[in-house]
Structure 1
């Protein structure tokens, strides 16, 4: 039994090492930061955020303030039992995560969904991916990438689903484990956030469910390495909504690079059409 445990542990360590190497090699963790730089340097792409700025800021401030006023002390008391002196930091991170999740749920559910899709599509158009974007919406003539975006022809995939909220609540207890628990919480959130950032990309490519699963599985390390910094950025109070837009830009930049480097199996769209 002891030998089996050692062998299992060794295999797990080797698996984590391999995934880490794949993540580093992919360079996907750079894209959330590329998204920030690209967003700030391209005024046209900023339009969807500015159009929704007032309600998003109000929602973020309101939710964060409420959470710290009414939930910080009770959660600190519980975490102090498990985390000791570092409970103060753990609780702050936990409340920020909760606030960000609630603010994102409210904002995306009521007024941000179309704006984020426009930001993703506009970034793709600015990178020369107009033909791919035309699979999901009408494209108008012109030079401004955002002005070229016409009416959506395909209903976008939900970016925040009830399943995602349930999964988030299931992961919350990890924060009771000092340091390691919080790290695991962020990693697990990032693992799911990465593929969801490319939901629109999968739709524009015409990928079926099994095709999406296979595509993500083959690039799981890369998607996790994208998702972790993206999640951490969106945890920032108030500014998290801004980073939701820059993450959409970063995800689109990554999608454009995958297309240009021929990393998405050119026949996928044709296969999807045949299946239909």
Structure 2
């Protein structure tokens, strides 16, 4: 392919682990997101402060004492990481269950609209034609909208994996990767809804991109361990997941346009899931 080829793979756009990070400046630099943050900001900090204060007051020292048996002085650091992981799980569960999933859907849809995929979003929710503001354009969903589905299995696995933090040196990275493996695909659940993926198609799509979803999920989980900012990063990670989805949609559209111009007359171009290229998705 030539350097001007629209389907030429871009190493940065294929680096899935970067999208949770790119979501931070994108969210903060676009003012239309700020009302969504303002609605949740007080709740985020109050909830996080209460949970982390309780955990550090009542569980930090006992866990450090236990870890010190195996890790010596390193127990102070790993104990803090363990408590942060516990806090992130509790805050995320409470916040996502009661406060934020609707907001995450709005963020995801607003990014897709801002990136030029208004038609895709319009298939699943009413849109206000009288404004160019992507957030104000959002009307009520025409069917159930979920950013990330509740997963008891994910919560149980998170709790089971927490003791990995007891393992010196490799324990914390291993914990982040294994939890990221499960968490990554959930950040594109809304994208799968917009594309009307069946369960089988969704599973194939995820399986072909498992390493990328694991990388995305690992960074997302790491950001959620930052005390006080974990739920802010939940919002910005939703932004990053939408940026990644928009990139895949753009590449898919480029592919369809290329096939339309190269297919023999009278034939409709066909394309399929492809484990090599992340944008060759059947719709």
How much has 1:182 moved relative to structure 2?
A: 1.3
In the other structure, the counterpart of 2:32 is: 44
How much has 1:25 moved relative to structure 2?
A: 8.6
* CA–CA separation in structure 1 for the residues paired with 2:237 and 2:99: 17
In the other structure, the counterpart of 1:131 is: 119
In the other structure, the counterpart of 2:42 is: 54
The count of aligned residue pairs is 246
Cα RMSD after superposing both structures: 1.6
* CA–CA separation in structure 2 for the residues paired with 1:84 and 1:266: 51
* CA–CA separation in structure 1 for the residues paired with 2:169 and 2:149: 29
Where does structure 2 lack aligned partners over 5 or more consecutive residues?
1-10, 253-277
* CA–CA separation in structure 2 for the residues paired with 1:61 and 1:159: 25
**1:111-260 alignment runs, 5 A limit:** 111-141=99-129, 142-157=131-146, 158-260=148-250
How much has 1:159 moved relative to structure 2?
A: 3.8
- Which has the larger helix fraction? 1
TM-score by length of 1: 0.85
Where does structure 1 lack aligned partners over 5 or more consecutive residues?
1-22, 269-276
Q: Is the 8 A contact 1:48 1:116 kept in 2?
A: no
How much has 1:147 moved relative to structure 2?
A: 0.6
SS at match of 2:135: coil
When residues 127 and 171 of structure 1 are mapped into structure 2, their CA distance, relative to the original with a 3 A threshold, is same
Matched, 1:84 2:72: yes
Q: Is the 8 A contact 2:13 2:247 kept in 1?
A: no
Q: Is the 8 A contact 2:126 2:141 kept in 1?
A: yes
How much has 1:27 moved relative to structure 2?
A: 0.9
In the other structure, the counterpart of 1:4 is: none
* CA–CA separation in structure 2 for the residues paired with 1:60 and 1:160: 20
When residues 204 and 25 of structure 1 are mapped into structure 2, their CA distance, relative to the original with a 3 A threshold, is closer
In the other structure, the counterpart of 1:5 is: none
TM-score by length of 2: 0.83
Higher relative contact order (CA 8 A, sep 6+): 1
